[in-house]
């Protein structure tokens, strides 16, 4: 009996404004459909070299070891730490949210001696607190912090910590999963030894790769380990030989189509320009926060240290956050994120990352929230939230999107505002 042919999966239309993934440019999706090459094909190896070059530009580094690790951003986190940390090594981790806590958990699994420097969720790790901890500890092998804490919307200052690490001869590890390509990051200028990210956030590529860069001194530390890395798959001393132009030693089969996609995403970043990209993320974040303020939402993260790529807000006490998020998804096709851990039920996490960070997307979201909050259908006239967002755009001379819109819209239902 011949099996009945199943129909293709067709995902529903969604506007992705959560903590990730972000919207993906059609050019990136098209790149993924190209025919496969072998992972040791000379043409594919040339593509790998090009990706390394483009990643160095985005990381702002000259590090030879700059690659796209096969795995998500969490694989980047694990690779960074399991390669550097051996049993008994003193490791200082800044913890002010979920992802700092994950770093700490990995250090403990490696047998490292964890030194915790903590701050309340939503606040930064003060550089003075790092300095005091380094002074007390004496010798520390690694200092690890999260640049953009996705669980709280806090942006961690890095440059003073990088200086402290050099003064104390410690390796500096930075989680840039929600910042690479969306806000300033200077690996060489800030003395960062290991920096990793994910493709699905500000780079607007599907999830599946972890951009990663290592300084020469970090790579030397890895190559001089006394014990083998606890992960064979993430052993960077082995992976280095696959990405090295002179060796190309087989390690694993690379995700060919994902590397096609990343190459195209990085081309889009360069075409826009990093400084213009950073300014775009900041502008749309400012407009969104103005619109949300008109609805009674307040910023959660510490003033002066709020992420433009991930906007965390506290809700009015009268609003039940989960039902509103569900209505946004079901009625408007818009995804935003809820809180994690102790922030569950208390905050929203709204991502304006890469292709998701546009004027039209901000206005689409504030229109939908305004309709839900105020309980009235659109009238065609700007309500208080939309007007507050528009004031930010007028102030900055942006009366329409200067970038082509690629957000997929859900079909309009009822009396939605245009």
Structural domain harbouring 351:
273-395
CA 133 and chain centroid, separation: 28
Mean pLDDT in residue range 241-247: 85
| Phi-psi category of residue 251: left, alpha or beta, with phi > 0 → left and psi -120 to 50 → alpha | alpha
CA distances from 100 to 70, 106, 118, 176, 282 (A): 22, 10, 9, 12, 24
Same domain, 243 and 299: no
For residue 343, pLDDT over 70 is answered with: yes
Mean pLDDT in residue range 123-146: 97
Choose the weakest-confidence range: 90-99, 290-299, 363-372, 402-411: 402-411
CA atoms within 13 A of residue 355's CA, in its CB half-sphere: 26
Same domain, 371 and 239: no
Same domain, 231 and 374: no
Domain boundary among 221, 240, 270: 270
pTM over 0.85: yes
Instruction: Give domain status of residue 179, yes or no.
Output: yes
Same domain, 259 and 317: no
Q: What is the mean pLDDT of the chain?
A: 93
For residue 281, pLDDT over 80 is answered with: yes
Same domain, 237 and 289: no
Domain boundary among 270, 288, 307: 270
CA angle 327, 355, 196 (to 5 degrees): 105
Same domain, 183 and 311: no
Instruction: Give domain status of residue 1, yes or no.
Output: no
For residue 376, pLDDT over 80 is answered with: no
pLDDT grade for 398, boundaries at 50, 70 and 90: confident
Q: How many domains does the chain have?
A: 2
Q: What is the pLDDT of residues 164-212, one digit of tens each?
A: 999 999 999 999 999 999 999 999 999 999 999 999 999 999 999 999 9
Domain boundary among 224, 251, 270: 270
Residues 402, 56: Cα–Cα separation, whole Å: 27
Q: What is the pLDDT of residues 47-103, one digit of tens each?
A: 999 999 999 999 999 999 999 999 999 999 999 999 999 999 999 999 999 999 999
Residues 218, 194: Cα–Cα separation, whole Å: 7
pLDDT grade for 412, boundaries at 50, 70 and 90: very low
Same domain, 42 and 112: yes
Instruction: Give domain status of residue 175, yes or no.
Output: yes
CATH code assigned at 61: 3.40.640.10
Same domain, 129 and 175: yes
Same domain, 213 and 349: no
Same domain, 280 and 257: no
Same domain, 374 and 251: no
């Amino acid at each position: 009996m011949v099996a009945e042919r199943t129909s293709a999966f067709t995902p529903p239309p969604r506007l992705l404004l959560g903590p990730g993934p972000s919207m993906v440019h059609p050019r990136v999706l098209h790149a993924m459909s190209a025919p496969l090459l072998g992972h040791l094909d000379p043409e594919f190896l040339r593509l790998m070299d090009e990706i390394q070059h483009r990643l160095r530009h985005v990381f702002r580094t000259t590090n030879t070891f700059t690659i796209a690790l096969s795995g998500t951003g969490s694989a980047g986190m694990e690779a960074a730490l399991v390669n550097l940390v051996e049993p008994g090594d003193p490791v200082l981790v800044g913890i002010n949210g979920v992802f700092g806590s994950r770093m700490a958990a990995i250090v403990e699994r490696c047998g490292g001696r964890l030194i915790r420097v903590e701050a309340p969720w939503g606040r930064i790790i003060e550089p003075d607190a790092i300095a005091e901890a380094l002074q007390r500890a004496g010798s520390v092998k690694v200092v690890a912090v999260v640049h953009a804490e996705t669980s709280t919307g806090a942006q961690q200052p890095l440059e003073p910590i990088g200086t402290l690490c050099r003064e104390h001869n410690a390796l500096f590890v930075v989680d840039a999963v929600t910042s690479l390509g969306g806000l300033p990051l200077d690996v060489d200028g800030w003395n960062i030894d290991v920096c990793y990210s994910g493709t699905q956030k500000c780079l607007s590529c599907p999830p599946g790769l972890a951009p990663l860069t290592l300084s020469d001194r970090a790579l030397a530390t890895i190559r001089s380990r006394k014990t083998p890395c606890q992960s064979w798959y993430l052993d960077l001393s082995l992976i280095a030989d696959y990405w090295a132009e002179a060796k190309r030693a087989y390690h694993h089969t690379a995700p060919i189509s994902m590397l096609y996609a990343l190459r195209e995403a990085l081309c889009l970043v360069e075409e826009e320009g990093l400084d213009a990209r950073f300014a775009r993320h900041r502008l749309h974040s400012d407009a969104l926060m103005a619109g949300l303020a008109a609805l009674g939402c307040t910023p959660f993260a510490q003033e002066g240290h709020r992420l433009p790529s991930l906007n965390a807000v506290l809700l009015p006490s009268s609003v039940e956050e989960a039902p509103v998020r569900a209505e946004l998804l079901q009625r408007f096709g818009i995804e935003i994120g809820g809180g994690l851990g102790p922030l569950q039920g208390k905050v929203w996490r709204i991502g304006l990352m890469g292709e998701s960070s546009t004027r039209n997307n901000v206005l689409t979201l504030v229109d939908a929230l305004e309709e839900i909050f105020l309980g009235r259908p659109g009238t065609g006239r700007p309500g208080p939230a939309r007007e507050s967002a528009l004031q930010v755009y007028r102030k900055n001379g942006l009366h329409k999107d200067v970038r082509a819109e690629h957000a997929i819209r859900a079909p309009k239902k009822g009396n939605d505002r245009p």
